[in-house]
Amino acid sequence: MNLAGRRVVLGVTGGIAAYKAVEVCRRLVDAGAHVAPIMTEGATHFVGETTFSALASEPVQTSLWHEQSPIPHTRLGQGADVVVVAPATARLLSAYASGYSDDLLTATLIATRAPVVVCPAMHTEMWEHPAVQANLDTLRSRGVIVVPPAEGRLAGGDVGTGRLADPADIVAAVEQVLGAGTERDLDGVRVLVTAGGTREAIDPVRVITNRSSGKQGHAIAADALARGALVTLVTTASLPAPAGAQVIEVVSAADMQAAVMPIAADHDVIVMAAAVADFRPVVVADHKLKKDELAAASDGAPVIVLEPTHDFLVDLGRDKRPGQLVVGFAAETDDLVTNARKKLERKNLDLIVANDVGAPGVGFEHDTNAVVLVRADGVDQDVPLTDKRSVAEAVLDAVVALRADLHP
């Protein structure tokens, strides 16, 4: 993505996630942005000023009183194309929502007319507190973009919602706010993306599922939005949805089929990134099964009878209308390209994204991926190990190229 010439004020507050703001800063600079960092006093307890001064486009500012200009907040606020706060603590959100200004960052937020992106990070209990949510509602009502936190490991070993969003997603939100990108080469194109692993019920408690996190599908949806697409995201994942996407939440393979098939023909591009279950239990109990109910075999081993789910990707490939593109995914552990090409031909796809999920750092649950893009015209493209947003860009670059062939 390209942010060349855009001025980004990056505010960093005093939370443990401040270390991730270093990566946000680096990515913004790599995208061509001029980054002016502001650190609160609290932030300096977690990350050194020298780190941001070395990586950003100008020295870090920490105070209203430490530079020659008597009004640094006005200079920063008026010169910004966007102000980003990552991480945004509960204290920062409260001060900003109430208009309370007691440091350089809050003064800059109040002094700017540029769009503002806040990226909260805090413990789950704090995130769920009604006062925090009310402050977020107030900020949203004023046009502030909120990049919600992710679920995962928190400080102190806790697990829950409150992790700072992935730096790639934060930069993507900035790009979307500024209308930046390599090109808006999918402007107005209707893109349907599926994401996550389906869950097939055994009883009200137990499910059969897979390790798909939905990160790759969500990254594709985010990049499509940045390119100007009109995006529908059908997902099983509990990840934050990209701002601007129409989101349909589903659980099982049948749910996903019921959501996708009625709207498939309305979309120009369908990207089936979801890991849809191949099998499901024949019978779903209406109560939690006890061990003795499951142990039907003489040796006491549980018996669950499975049946195939319907492979509706076959339907999408068979029924695609002229000019429509259908993209599939193939998670393999051996004979990657051979198996992927067989799947592509059998299902009449235009492109298949194949990954070896047995390789380190690749595919399910990781923030990184390495894929081979296998096209119906016989052209293959290797995408070496990289973050999933970069993989999403490669996938959609291939989609744009294929559309150019269909719509010269």
Distance, CA of 219 to CA of 201 (rounded, Å): 27
Q: Are 22 and 94 in contact (CB under 8 A)?
A: no
Residues 6+ away with beta carbon under 8 Å from 145: 115, 116, 117, 118, 173, 177, 243
Contacts 24+ apart (CB under 8 A), 42-48: 42/13, 42/14, 42/15, 42/89, 43/12, 43/13, 43/14, 43/15, 43/18, 44/14, 45/14, 46/14, 46/15, 46/16, 46/18, 46/19, 47/12, 47/18, 47/19, 47/21, 47/22
Tokens 């019920």: give the residue: 201
- Residue type at 152? G
* 348 flagged as catalytic: no
CA–CA separation, 260 vs 258, rounded Å? 6
Which amino acid belongs to residue 14? Answer: G
- Among 133, 229, 67, 75, which Cα is nearest to 83's? 75
Q: How far apart are CA 275 and CA 214, in angstroms?
A: 8
Out of 210, 339, 348, 369, the active site residue is 210
Element (H, E) at 311: none
Q: What are phi and psi of 3, to 5 degrees?
A: -115, 25
Torsion of CA 176, 229, 152, 23, to 10 degrees: -40
Which residues are catalytic, by number?
A: 210
